[in-house]
C-alpha cells in the first residue's frame, strides 16, 4: 500500500488547476506515493461549495500525510485555505510537510522595521503599526512550527517567472524536493 498524500495548496486557483493537479499526482507516483488533489475542480462537486468543503475534509481524513504548498498567495503568507487544512491535519496528528518557491522569509516580505528611537532588540513593526514576527521563519509561527513539531520539513526551491519576477505558484521544483524529503523520512515504511 502506498502512502496517501493530501496535496494542499492554492494550485486550485490556477487557470490550469486540473492539469497542475494531475502533474503533481504523477510526480507522487514517481516517488511511490498516491497523491490526493482537492476536488475543487471536479464539476459535480464544484457546483456546490458545501460539497467542496466536505470532500476536502474527507480527503484529509483518508490521507496519511499532508503536503502543503506554502508559496505566498495574495499577501505575505500562504493561502488561508491551505493554512486551515494544515491546522486540521496537524490536529489529527498526521505528519505535515511544506514547500515553497519563495526563498524570502516572512520578515523580508512584510518589511518589518524597528520603531525609530526604540530600544535595541525590541519588536519590529509594519507600516500599519502591527508587530511583525521576528523568528527567522518563512511564514507565521503557527504554520512553520506545526510542520516542525509533526516531524516534517519545508522544502524551499526558489523559482522566478520572467519578466515579473514573482515566485511561481505551482512550485514544482520545491514540490519534488519535498517528496524527496518525505521519501527519505519514510524509507522502508512503504
Residue ranges binding a copy of itself (CB under 8 A) = 10, 12-15, 17, 49-50, 52-54, 56, 73-81, 83-92, 110, 125-126, 128-133, 135, 137, 139-143, 145-146, 149, 166, 169
C-alpha to C-alpha distances, 147 to 11, 72, 98, 116, nearest whole angstrom: 20, 16, 7, 35
Query: Considering beta carbons, is residue 10 or 31 the nearer one to a copy of itself?
Result: 10
CA atoms within 13 A on the CB side of 23: 13
As given in the structure block, the three cell numbers for residue 128 are 500599519
Query: Considering beta carbons, is residue 31 or 96 the nearer one to a copy of itself?
Result: 96
Query: Considering beta carbons, is residue 44 or 91 the nearer one to a copy of itself?
Result: 91
How far apart (Å, rounded) are the C-alpha atoms in residues 94 and 81?
Answer: 18
The CB-of-182 to a copy of itself minimum distance in angstroms stands at: 21
Query: Considering beta carbons, is residue 119 or 184 the nearer one to a copy of itself?
Result: 119
The CB-of-77 to a copy of itself minimum distance in angstroms stands at: 4
The CB-of-13 to a copy of itself minimum distance in angstroms stands at: 4
The CB-of-94 to a copy of itself minimum distance in angstroms stands at: 10
Query: Considering beta carbons, is residue 31 or 78 the nearer one to a copy of itself?
Result: 78
Query: Considering beta carbons, is residue 125 or 183 the nearer one to a copy of itself?
Result: 125
The H or E element that residue 114 is part of is strand 113-114
How far apart (Å, rounded) are the C-alpha atoms in residues 16 and 28?
Answer: 19
The CB-of-187 to a copy of itself minimum distance in angstroms stands at: 27
Sign for the pseudo-dihedral over CA of 63, 67, 71, 77: positive
DSSP E strands, 43-87: 65-69
Q: For residues 55-68, b (16+ Cβ closer than 10 Å) or e, as one string?
A: bbeebbeebbbbbb
The CB-of-35 to a copy of itself minimum distance in angstroms stands at: 19
Amino acid at each position: 500500500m502506498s502512502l496517501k498524500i493530501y496535496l494542499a495548496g492554492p494550485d486550485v486557483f490556477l487557470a490550469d488547476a486540473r492539469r497542475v493537479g494531475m502533474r503533481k499526482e504523477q510526480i507522487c507516483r514517481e516517488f511511490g506515493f498516491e497523491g490526493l488533489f482537492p476536488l475543487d475542480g471536479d464539476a459535480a462537486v464544484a457546483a456546490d461549495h458545501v460539497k467542496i468543503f466536505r470532500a476536502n475534509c474527507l480527503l484529509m481524513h483518508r490521507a496519511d500525510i499532508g503536503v502543503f504548498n506554502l508559496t505566498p498567495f495574495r499577501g505575505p503568507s500562504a493561502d488561508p485555505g491551505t493554512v486551515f487544512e494544515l491546522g486540521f491535519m496537524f490536529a489529527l496528528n498526521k505528519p505535515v510537510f511544506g514547500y515553497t518557491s519563495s526563498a524570502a522569509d516572512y520578515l523580508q516580505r512584510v518589511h518589518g522595521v524597528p520603531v525609530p528611537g526604540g530600544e535595541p532588540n525590541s519588536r519590529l513593526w509594519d507600516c500599519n503599526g502591527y508587530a511583525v514576527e521576528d523568528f527567522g521563519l518563512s511564514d507565521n509561527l503557527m504554520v512553520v512550527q506545526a510542520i516542525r513539531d509533526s516531524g516534517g520539513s519545508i522544502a524551499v526551491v526558489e523559482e522566478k517567472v520572467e519578466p515579473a519576477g514573482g515566485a511561481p505558484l505551482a512550485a514544482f521544483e520545491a514540490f519534488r524536493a519535498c517528496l524527496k524529503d518525505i521519501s527519505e523520512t519514510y524509507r522502508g515504511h512503504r
